[in-house]
Amino acid sequence: MATENLSAIVYGKNDLRLENRPIPEPGPNEVLLRMGQVGICGSDVSYLTKLAIGHFIVKSPMVLGHESAGTVVKCGEKVKHLKKGDRVAIEPGVPCRMCDLCKAGRYNLCQDVYFCATPPDDGNLCRYYKHAADFCFKLPDNVSLEEGALCEPMSVGVHACRRAGVFLGSSVLICGAGPIGLVNLLVAKAMGAAKVCITDLVENRLNLAKELGADHTLLVKSGSPEELAKQVEAAMGGCVDITIECCGAEPSICMGIYATKSGGVMVIIGHGPAEVKMPIINAATREVDIRGVFRYANCYPATLEMIASGKVNVKRLITHRFKLEESHQAFETARTGAGGAVKVMISCE
């Protein structure tokens, strides 16, 4: 096995360094992974450019990366379900397993969680990385490492659509056609949504959304939230059953409330300002349920089944590919959206 562990580490604002770190030794319930593919998430870009997302602040050097898949090279003595050579998707958040939330199955809300590339926890944009074996999911033979890495953002879509209660024949508005909006489009369609409208500020992302199955798209460069909601209503033949908000921008949240039918549901994934002004009385008097979404829980098995069965094609989301040694260029592409970048993938092999 190699002796070098090249890692992409953020030291300060726009200060990304490639350094060799020691190869870790797995504990009894862990596996050592040779990393294969790691996708760049908006959070990775935010930590590099701003050193923060909300109350998560980078205070010391941190390895980036959490959308990932790799190959087992060594197993801890208590690991029984995996073996050397197995390819796995890595669920990046390992909770305490002991608190009431964990025991209730809502471990994404655990307060004592190790989550890759969330300060102060190191991520896995590196050659070798150790992880809890029970949060590694063996990939079917027909699922690539790139698809395995995309299980992470896909799981956000699965969790959001479950929280929203997407049902057969439902009409869905998705605010934002970035990677998270697009995976929600794929999942909503796979779960039986009859009509999906997706919005964005960028035309090329809406074009990709159409290619992936969106029934309607809306460019939202101008207009009040009420006016834009009326445009959604006109395109969809009425207010929608469900809105999935993936931007976090105040106007987008407001539009989502106005566009959701009375008795409908809006889930909020996007993390924008800590406080936003929204028409809460409008939502309350029409019994529009507003539900939060934070990461995911118990979604990786269903996500893998959807990919393996061909119900969703996540590979089309990948627009750019780089090697680990090209991480600076990869992050600049993700940051600027150069060349129509949607999902930038880094090969660590």
In 3D space, the residue among 39, 124, 123, 27 whose CA is nearest the CA of residue 76 turns out to be 27
Q: What's the confidence (pLDDT) of residue 31?
A: 98
Q: Over the stretch 46-100, which tens digit does the pLDDT of each residue have?
A: 999 999 998 899 999 999 999 999 999 999 999 999 999 999 999 999 999 999 9
Domain that holds residue 118: 6-150+314-347
In 3D space, the residue among 160, 219, 218 whose CA is nearest the CA of residue 190 turns out to be 160
Q: Which amino acid is at 257?
A: I
Residues 146 and 176 reside in one and the same domain: no
Residues 58 and 166 reside in one and the same domain: no
Q: Over the stretch 247-293, which tens digit does the pLDDT of each residue have?
A: 999 999 999 999 999 999 999 999 888 899 999 999 999 999 999 99
- pLDDT band of 224, cuts 50, 70, 90: very high
Distance CA 47, CA 12 (A): 9
pTM of the model: 0.96
Q: What's the confidence (pLDDT) of residue 55?
A: 86
Distance CA 89, CA 38 (A): 10
Give domain status of residue 306, yes or no. Answer: no
Residues 11 and 114 reside in one and the same domain: yes
Q: What's the confidence (pLDDT) of residue 271?
A: 86
Give domain status of residue 1, yes or no. Answer: no
Q: What's the confidence (pLDDT) of residue 1?
A: 56
Residues 109 and 210 reside in one and the same domain: no
Domain count for the chain: 2
Distance CA 118, CA 219 (A): 32
How many residues can be counted in the chain? 349
Across 92-112, b (16+ Cβ under 10 Å) vs e yields bbbbeeebebbeeeebbbbee
Backbone angles phi, psi at 86, to 5 degrees: -70, 135
Give domain status of residue 303, yes or no. Answer: no
CATH of the domain at 339: 3.90.180.10
Residues 332 and 237 reside in one and the same domain: no
Residues 12 and 138 reside in one and the same domain: yes
Distance CA 233, CA 237 (A): 6
Residues 219 and 126 reside in one and the same domain: no
Residues 84 and 107 reside in one and the same domain: yes
In 3D space, the residue among 158, 126, 118 whose CA is nearest the CA of residue 296 turns out to be 158
CATH of the domain at 277: 3.40.50.720
Q: Over the stretch 168-211, which tens digit does the pLDDT of each residue have?
A: 999 999 999 999 999 999 999 999 999 999 999 999 999 999 99
